[in-house]
């Protein structure tokens, strides 16, 4: 009786051995999302400043206010006061109101408009977002300075031509720097109030008190109380910021500006940023 040997599937066995000897495939870790550059965040914050209807008209209001104030100086100012500084200072008055409001709204948007979850999900590091907002506000202030001196130069030429006099060019590069620094400080004041209050109407009202109500009360006190007359530059930040915008700050005035800026801007800004970094986003 013939015995038949069992059939062996050599190809299947070889495949099983090959599979057995194959090392396990390593799982690749999930890819880390690319780091968003600061320049892109600043560009986004700049675009957010004028994407909304209110932001667009605030920025457009800077140009419109420059043209209107230039026309007002030509129409009503005495010809003896036609000068480059007269036009730029007149243009700077509405800017001291519009620029801080833009900065305040840029901060409060994440809280009053409930876009904070979206913003801080896309960029989890709040400090980078706040820094980008501050840079964007500073860039807007620099652009406003360029608008003021450009429109002021045109107004000076047109006003002198209509009056039949030679234009007076009494502004230099130092005055441009003083004007830009003054606008930047006021813009940062609005930024600080927005970060402290985190509510758009509240931040705007607080800035109006800072810019108009408090300086008027301090000026009245300095006028009626001799002891406060010399102390006012040490406690009134708006007094020193106005002097900086006008280019009349010199000597001890820089010390006054440094002290009031430290007390009324730097320290509140530090407190505002620390609170905002820990605040709950809803």
- Digit-coded pLDDT (tens) for 30-65: 555 567 888 888 998 888 878 777 778 888 889 999
Burial (CB count within 10 angstroms: exposed 0-12, middle 13-18, buried 19+), residue 80: exposed
**Domain region containing 197:** 37-278
Could you read off the pLDDT of 228-277 as tens digits, one per residue? Answer: 999 999 999 999 999 999 988 888 999 999 999 999 999 999 999 998 88
**What is the number of structural domains in the chain?**
1
| Tokens describing residue 143 | 């652009």
pLDDT at 1: 46
Q: Is 31 left (phi over 0), alpha (psi -120 to 50) or beta?
A: beta
Residue 145 CB contacts under 8 Å (≥ 6 apart), including other chains: 176, 179, 180, 183
**In 3D, which of 157, 176, 174 has the Cα closest to residue 166?**
157
Residue identified by tokens 């506000």 is 137
Q: Identify whether 205 is part of a domain.
A: yes
- HSE at residue 62, side-chain half, CA atoms within 13 A, is 27
Domain assignment present for 12: no
Contact 279, 108 (CB under 8 A): no
Q: For the chain, where are the alpha helices, taking DSSP H only?
A: 10-21, 38-51, 53-76, 84-112, 116-122, 126-163, 173-197, 200-208, 214-224, 226-229, 232-235, 237-245, 252-261, 267-278
Express each pLDDT in 101-140 by its tens digit.
Answer: 999 998 888 777 666 667 777 777 888 888 999 999 999 9
- Classify residue 24: in a domain, yes or no: no
For the chain, how many residues are written?
282
- 54/165 Cα distance (integer angstroms): 41
Domain presence at residue 234: yes
Q: Which of 7-21, 83-97, 98-112, 126-140 has the lowest mean pLDDT?
A: 7-21
For residues 135 and 116, give the distance between their C-alpha atoms in angstroms, rounded to a whole number: 19
* CA dist., res. 200 & res. 108, Å (int): 6
Q: If you compute the radius of gyration of the chain from its CA atoms, what whole number of angstroms results?
A: 31
Task: Compute the distance between CA of residue 131 and CA of residue 259 in angstroms, rounded to an integer.
Answer: 23
pLDDT digits (tens, 9 = 90+) for 175-194: 999 999 999 999 999 999 99
Task: Report whether pLDDT(68) > 90.
Answer: yes
Question: Is 6 or 90 the better-scoring residue by pLDDT?
Answer: 90
Does residue 1 form part of some domain? Answer: no
The pLDDT tens digits for 187-229 are: 999 999 999 998 899 999 999 999 999 999 999 999 999 889 9
Can you give the pLDDT at residue 147? 95
Residue 10 has pLDDT above 70, yes or no: no
Q: Is residue 58 part of a domain?
A: yes
Residue 2 falls within a domain, yes or no? Answer: no
Question: How many Å apart are CA 197 and CA 167, to the nearest integer?
Answer: 46
Domain annotation covers residue 4: no
**Exposed, middle or buried, 181 (CB in 10 Å: 0-12/13-18/19+)?**
middle
3-state secondary structure 208-224: HHHHHHHHHHHHHHHHH
């Amino acid at each position: 009786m013939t015995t038949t040997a069992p059939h062996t599937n050599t190809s299947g066995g070889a495949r099983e051995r090959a599979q057995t000897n194959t090392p396990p495939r390593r799982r690749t870790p999930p890819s880390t999302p690319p780091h968003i550059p600061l320049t892109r965040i600043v560009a986004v914050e700049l675009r957010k400043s004028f994407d909304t209807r209110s932001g667009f008209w605030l920025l457009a209001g800077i140009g419109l206010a420059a043209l209107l104030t230039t026309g007002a100086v030509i129409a009503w100012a005495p010809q003896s006061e036609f000068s480059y500084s007269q036009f730029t200072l007149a243009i700077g008055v509405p800017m001291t109101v519009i620029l801080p409001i833009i900065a305040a709204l840029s901060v409060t948007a994440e809280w009053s408009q409930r876009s904070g979850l979206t913003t801080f999900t896309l960029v989890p590091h709040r400090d980078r977002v706040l820094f980008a907002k501050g840079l964007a506000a500073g860039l807007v202030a620099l652009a406003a300075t360029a608008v003021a001196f450009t429109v002021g130069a045109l107004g000076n030429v047109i006003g002198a031509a209509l009056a039949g006099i030679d234009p007076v060019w009494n502004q230099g590069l130092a005055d441009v720097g003083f004007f830009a620094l003054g606008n930047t400080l006021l813009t940062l004041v609005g930024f600080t109030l927005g970060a402290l209050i985190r509510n758009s109407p509240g931040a705007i009202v607080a800035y109006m008190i800072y810019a108009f109500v408090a300086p008027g009360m301090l000026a009245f006190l300095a006028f009626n109380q001799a002891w406060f007359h010399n102390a006012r530059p040490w406690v009134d930040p708006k007094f020193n910021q106005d002097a900086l915008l006008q280019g009349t700050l010199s000597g001890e005035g820089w010390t006054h500006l440094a002290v009031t800026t430290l007390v009324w801007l730097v320290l509140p800004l530090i407190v505002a940023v620390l609170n905002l970094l820990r605040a709950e986003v809803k």
